[in-house]
Amino acid sequence: MGTGRAVPDRVLTNAELEKMVDTTDEWITERTGIKERRIAAPDESLSDFALPAAERALESAGISGSEVDMVICATVSPDMSFPATSTLIQDRIGATGAAAFDLSAACTGFVYALGIAAQFLETGWARTALVVGGEVLSKITDWTDRNTCVLFGDGAGAVVLRAAEDDKRGVLGVAMHSDGSLGDLIYLPGGGSQHPQSESVLDQSLNFLKMKGNETFKIAVRSLAEVSDEVLSRNRLSHGEVDWFIPHQANRRIIDAVGQRLEIREGRTYVNIERYGNTSAASIPIALDELNRDGKISPGDVVLLSAFGSGLTWGAGLIRW
């Protein structure tokens, strides 16, 4: 019914990163496609972006927060471990008594959350769902590690869903997968019950995200293509029928490789990684909101979303707009 987004005001360019770590604009642009990213101020947290994104989605849907009976916030960088950031959103939008929970599936979080919300609407167990994907990864990024700090950005995107009368439109299907044996490819070791915050966690930099980028890259291309195929074939749709392909924005080379494998029509893969970097769970809803507000998606369009991330997790969603 509606979409919204909110990102920090602060723009961090590749030129600025050149002064922070041993890197170049050329390397970052060529290897990732990223030119700049948005970074939260020290006193900003996830809810500073998740809440305005949610409010804009409600406004574009033309409904009030009191009509929402389910709030899901997909994130791995919540305001705090608990209570869930979604409960804060629930309270601030006035969704009195709504179910609210955070969902942890890293970059795949929005696709998972979309699938869960759609199922609740389908069964009638919820009537109106607000699904938010948001991250402030800058707070768990090691700004001295050039392998990771050039990649990520902050922000949030949101969508409002309501059970449709017309069953030809809406979320046609979602496929979700994981492989926990690959958990060490991207993870945050510190701050949980295994390594609670302590001097030693800080000394060993366990409070920062770790990633084996190169190994993740190869798996990402394969899993994104496979899961996209899965959701398309389940709905008896061909690659050529996709009007918009919105992949998770992790790396321009991954996006291009998957687009080619899927034979997505020319100009129909949405890319905004150059402006935001990898915003994890926020990347797909931010992209959806840009497309929607720019009037590029038309009613009836087939929109394919696919994402992968820490877990590893991966998934795809198919929407008839």
Residues forming contacts to ligand ACO in the complex (CB under 6 A) are 23, 27-28, 31-32, 106-107, 146-147, 150, 186, 211, 213-214, 216-217, 220, 250-251, 278, 280, 309-310
> 251 vs 292, which CB is nearer to ligand ACO?
251
> 186 vs 262, which CB is nearer to ligand ACO?
186
- Least CB distance to ligand ACO at residue 220 (A): 5
Cα–Cα distance measured from residue 169 to residue 187, given in angstroms and rounded to the nearest whole number: 37
Kindly report the backbone phi and psi dihedral angles of residue 144, in degrees, each rounded to the nearest multiple of 5, phi listed first: -110, -5
In which element (H, E) is residue 217 found?
helix 213-234
Cα–Cα distance measured from residue 249 to residue 256, given in angstroms and rounded to the nearest whole number: 11
> 88 vs 105, which CB is nearer to ligand ACO?
105
- Least CB distance to ligand ACO at residue 231 (A): 20
Cα–Cα distance measured from residue 73 to residue 113, given in angstroms and rounded to the nearest whole number: 8
Cα–Cα distance measured from residue 264 to residue 240, given in angstroms and rounded to the nearest whole number: 6
Cα–Cα distance measured from residue 80 to residue 226, given in angstroms and rounded to the nearest whole number: 34
Dihedral (Cα; 9, 44, 58, 120), 10-degree rounding: 130
- Least CB distance to ligand ACO at residue 285 (A): 15
Indicate the burial class of 15 (C-beta count within 10 angstroms; 0-12, 13-18, 19 or more): exposed
Nearest to 46 by CA among 17, 87, 13, 12: 87
> 4 vs 309, which CB is nearer to ligand ACO?
309
Residues 6 or more apart whose CB falls under 8 angstroms from that of 87 comprise 71, 100
> 172 vs 273, which CB is nearer to ligand ACO?
273
Cα–Cα distance measured from residue 255 to residue 251, given in angstroms and rounded to the nearest whole number: 6
- Least CB distance to ligand ACO at residue 103 (A): 14
| Long-range CB contacts (within 8 A, 24+) of 14-17 | 14/150, 17/149, 17/150
Indicate the burial class of 9 (C-beta count within 10 angstroms; 0-12, 13-18, 19 or more): exposed
- Least CB distance to ligand ACO at residue 70 (A): 24
| Residue closest to ligand ACO, measured at CB | 213
- Least CB distance to ligand ACO at residue 256 (A): 12
**Could you give the residue numbers annotated as active site?**
107, 248, 278
> 210 vs 239, which CB is nearer to ligand ACO?
210
